[in-house]
Structure 1
Amino acid sequence: MIFYDCPTAPSPRRARMFIAEKGLDIETRNISIADGEQMSPAFLKVNPRATVPVLITDKGTVLSENVAIATYIEAMHPEPPLLGRTADEKGLVAMWNAIAEAQGGMAVAEAFRNAHPAMKGRALPGPLDLPQIPELAERGRKRVAAFFDLLDARLSETPWLAGEAFSMADITAFVFTDFARVVKMRPAEDHAATQDWLERMRARPSAAL
């Protein structure tokens, strides 16, 4: 397998943490988004959508989405399970992972890409150059705040996002919660359940990657 990573971006970090939680050592090639390497002819041959992460499987299949990468790795290396064991657990992991992506990750991205000077003309990932829309940045910040409230409400009910066991959903929510620092947003200190969860997440060796 070959893993295409970018140490500074949140989406590859999700895959990097998933791989680490599985205890795997995969050949890694770093792609610098800051230097525009995702747009290089060499990388576009790997992934024409110009995004990371990418995993090339042992059979040469190109997987360029976190869910796809996680699904493949879980099938090849089922222990420890990160996508759930029972049908109900699998459903909850998929649901909360999707919620964390749509209501957390996309909100942070909306706020960041539509306001940060480094993202000028790059309001969306991928090969298209698109202008920033300041109104979307403000909307994104409101969505991030709403996600933090949702996260704390859920974690007040369960120790981990999808239930009793640590899962991919926790990785996704943690990475995007941490990345919210780029728009100067953090979960409130009085969100006790979230703060406890963050402490447990940061204690995991994969969180340092």
Structure 2
Amino acid sequence: MKLYNWQFAPNCRRVRMFVLEKKLDLPAIEEVIGSGLRLKPEYFETWPHAMVPMLETDEGQQIGEAMAICRYFEERFPEPNLMGRTAVEKGTIEMWERRAYDECLIGTAEVFRNSHPDFVDRGLPGTTAKVPQIPALIERGKGRVARYYQKIEAQLAEQEWVAGSRFSVADITTLCAMDFAIAVGMPIPPECPSTARWHDQVNARPTAKLSV
């Protein structure tokens, strides 16, 4: 089994942390980022979708997208459960996991891709076609992340974990998305003490440190 990986990418970290929370050894990891923060040309031959992470199973099957890979591991290794047991719990976890991805991670990606000098003409992932940066998306992304911080603060003021009374994949995606935002210059606002409390709590988990 092999995980095609970019160590900095939050989507790759989501998978690494999920696997570690399952108390499994990480798969063999192949770094596919070369100079200029570009995917190595040989990776395109392996995976034409041109995105990371991608898991290659022992049987040679290829699974892309972070949550699809996490679902694979959840089905193969159901304990400890990270995606919910009851219908309500599963739905709630998926709802908050998706909000972290759509609002915080993608909002940060808008800022990063449209401002980083290595991503000129690489405004969108998953294609080798030239896609120009759009400066207006930087401010839109910042606004998206700011609104997400307000939303998650209200949620975490009411409960210990993102999606309920226990740790789940929603916490993993939220941490990886939030740490990405922090790295890109959008720290947790001072008016979000519950979020800061939660962030310290999750970052204290061994898997948070090991997945960086």
Q: TM-score, normalised by structure 2?
A: 0.93
| Residues 133-162 of structure 1: CA deviation (Å, up to 9, x unaligned) | 111111111111001111111111221111
Check the 8 A contact 2:32/2:39 in 1, yes or no.
yes
Per the alignment, do residues 141 and 3 of structure 1 end up closer, same or farther by CA in structure 2, a change over 3 Å counting? Answer: same
Unpaired runs of 5+ in structure 1? none
Quick one: which amino acid aligns to residue 74 of structure 1?
A: E
What's the C-alpha RMSD, in Å, of the aligned pairs?
Answer: 1.4
Alignment of 1:1-209 (within 5 A): 1-25=1-25, 26-32=27-33, 34-35=35-36, 38-40=39-41, 42-127=42-127, 128-208=129-209, 209=211
Per the alignment, do residues 33 and 11 of structure 1 end up closer, same or farther by CA in structure 2, a change over 3 Å counting? Answer: farther
Check the 8 A contact 1:122/1:130 in 2, yes or no.
yes
CA–CA distance in structure 1, aligned partners of residues 145 and 32 of structure 2: 27
Q: Runs (4+) of structure 1 moved beyond 6 Å?
A: none
Per the alignment, do residues 200 and 206 of structure 1 end up closer, same or farther by CA in structure 2, a change over 3 Å counting? Answer: same
Per the alignment, do residues 24 and 143 of structure 1 end up closer, same or farther by CA in structure 2, a change over 3 Å counting? Answer: same
Give the Å deviation of 1:37: 5.4
Check the 8 A contact 1:17/1:171 in 2, yes or no.
yes
Check the 8 A contact 2:159/2:165 in 1, yes or no.
yes
Check the 8 A contact 1:10/1:176 in 2, yes or no.
yes
CA–CA distance in structure 2, aligned partners of residues 153 and 111 of structure 1: 24
Quick one: which amino acid aligns to residue 135 of structure 1?
A: A
Aligned residue pairs total 208
Tell me the secondary structure at the aligned position of residue 137 of structure 1: helix
CA–CA distance in structure 2, aligned partners of residues 64 and 55 of structure 1: 6
Per the alignment, do residues 23 and 43 of structure 1 end up closer, same or farther by CA in structure 2, a change over 3 Å counting? Answer: same
Per the alignment, do residues 142 and 95 of structure 1 end up closer, same or farther by CA in structure 2, a change over 3 Å counting? Answer: same
CA–CA distance in structure 2, aligned partners of residues 125 and 170 of structure 1: 24
CA–CA distance in structure 1, aligned partners of residues 34 and 77 of structure 2: 29
Q: TM-score, normalised by structure 1?
A: 0.94
Quick one: which amino acid aligns to residue 98 of structure 1?
A: R
| Residues 101-154 of structure 1: CA deviation (Å, up to 9, x unaligned) | 111111001111111212211111122321011111111111110011111111
